[in-house]
Amino acid sequence: MSNIKQAYDEQGFVVVENTVPPEMRQALECACERVISRTRNGEWPYRRTVGTQFPPFDDATPTDYWGVQHVMHPDLHEPIFARWYTSSALLDPVKELLGCQDDDLQMELFNLLINPTAHDFALRWHRDDVRLEKASDEEERKALDAWHYGVQWNTALYRDSCLFVVPGSHKIPRTPEQRVLSSGGDAPKNPLDMPGAIRLTLNPGETVFYNSNILHCAAYDSQQKRATLHACIGDRRGGTTRARNVLQHGLEWMKGTEFRETLDAKGQQMLDSLLKLQEKTGGEVVYSQNNEIEK
Ligand SMILES: O=C(O)CCC(=O)C(=O)O
Ligand SMILES: [Fe+2]
């Protein structure tokens, strides 16, 4: 087993360097600047709004933004995002971590995480596809045991210290103390109060690949520039295990020929796996999390 796979399997995350080929770096930075401007100017309807932690993000009067959704969307006209998403600099480690071949790769989400400009904001402790406020130990274990068919990542274009994780927590239910600190709807005042938590810092060009059901949270500083590529890829052999987590972000736009035509042959093959997944679910969208938790 490779070193990165061993670390990923044991800790639930691994940091990999050089995941942005030098010749793509500037194009990615410029494309990010453009899509961030459009979002902050209110010209891009698919975005993450301050005050809302999880999808759906479609609240009526947004005040600030912490993410740009669907950066490969053809209406953005930024082909560099799909070129990078299907590049070997990225797909080689993805295949290694999933233990899969090219044919198994399933296109999923590609979003951008940005600093809000006027408000600091934070996400509560969570696992992306488990409702922690009500999951029993057994339900948590079952969900974690089934979560082997996808990998998520954050790639920093600028130094990024927003993400906190509990290493190893992708395999085991929370301890009673961890459960208390992760069952409410609010973000923690100090994430390091969580037993076992560490803060991850990425230097420009570094990627943290992580199991999105690792116990994690994040804090966003409006004064610290952030443009972090945030994406995931699945392994189609997982059937519908990832459907809820992925389709809750609203991927109908990926069905059109306009998007398909922006992709190379490998990208189109990855897209076909996603479209099959969409077909299997009959278009039903179910959300992984409740934004409002009853207290
Ligand atoms: O901002 C981050 O790095 C993490 C975001 C996150 O956990 C999420 O979108 O579920
Ligand atoms: Fe998350």
Per-residue pLDDT of 203-221, as tens digits, reads 999 999 999 999 999 999 9
Question: Residue 4 and residue 14: Cα distance in Å, rounded?
Answer: 6
CATH 2.60.120.620 corresponds to the domain 3-281: yes
Best probe residue, ligand 1, of 163, 207, 229, 249 (max atoms within 8 Å of C-beta): 163
How many C-beta atoms lie closer than 10 Å to residue 217's C-beta?
Answer: 22
Ligand 1 atom nearest the C-alpha of 48 is: 9
CB of 4 closer than 8 Å to CB of 97: yes
Query: 294 pLDDT exceeds 70?
Result: no
E runs forming strands in the chain: 13-16, 47-49, 65-68, 105-114, 121-126, 150-156, 163-165, 198-199, 207-210, 216-220, 227-235
Q: Where are the alpha helices (DSSP H) in 79-202?
A: 80-85, 88-98, 137-145, 176-180
Among 212, 280, 203, smallest CA distance to 245 is for 212
pLDDT band per the 50, 70, 90 thresholds, residue 291: confident
Entry pTM: 0.97
Residue 34 has pLDDT above 80, yes or no: yes
User: Confidence band (pLDDT; 50, 70, 90) for 290?
Assistant: confident
**Spatial distance between the Cα atoms of 48 and 254, rounded to a whole number of angstroms:** 19
> How far does the centroid of ligand 2 lie from the alpha carbon of residue 212, in Å?
6
Q: What is the DSSP letter of 292?
A: S
Please, are residues 271 and 260 in contact by the beta-carbon 8 Å criterion? Answer: yes
Distance 84 CA to ligand 2 centre (A): 22
The pLDDT, as a whole number, for residue 79 is 97
Q: Give per-residue pLDDT as tens, 104-136.
A: 999 999 999 999 999 999 999 999 999 999 899
Q: Hey, where are the domains in the chain?
A: 3-281
Protein residue with least CA distance to atom 8, ligand 1: 128
Alpha helices, DSSP H only, in 86-171? Answer: 88-98, 137-145
